[in-house]
Amino acid sequence: MVFIKRISLKGFKSYQEQLNFDEFDPHYNVVIGRNGSGKSNFYDAIQFVLCDEKFGNLRAGDRQFLLYVCC
């Protein structure tokens, strides 16, 4: 079983600046926020690190869409 203790995001999709998420319960966690606030991108970051099938077959060039692009 996997337990996430901490997540740091920087430059991933909509996360330009570094954000640290330090307080996770070992059993249940809920991510809430307004539309467009980055909830799906937060989950995409977790899936990317855990080599989910969604990202596992991407070529290096295709991974460009994962990087934060200003403007």
Parse the chain into domains and list their residue ranges: 7-66
End-to-end CA gap in the chain:
39
Q: What is the mean pLDDT of the chain?
A: 85
Rounded mean pLDDT of 37-47?
91
Per-residue confidence band for 7, with pLDDT thresholds at 50, 70 and 90: very high
Adjacent-strand bridge partners of 8? 20
Per-residue pLDDT tens over the stretch 21-30: 998 998 999 9
Total-model pTM: 0.74
Nearest alpha carbon to residue 4 among 41, 39, 46: 46
- More confidently predicted of 46 and 58: 46
pLDDT at 37: 93
User: Mind spelling out the 3-state secondary structure of the chain?
Assistant: CCCCCCEEECCECCECCCEEECCCCCCCCCCCCCCCCCHHHHHHHHHHHCCCHHHHCCCCHHHHHHECCCC
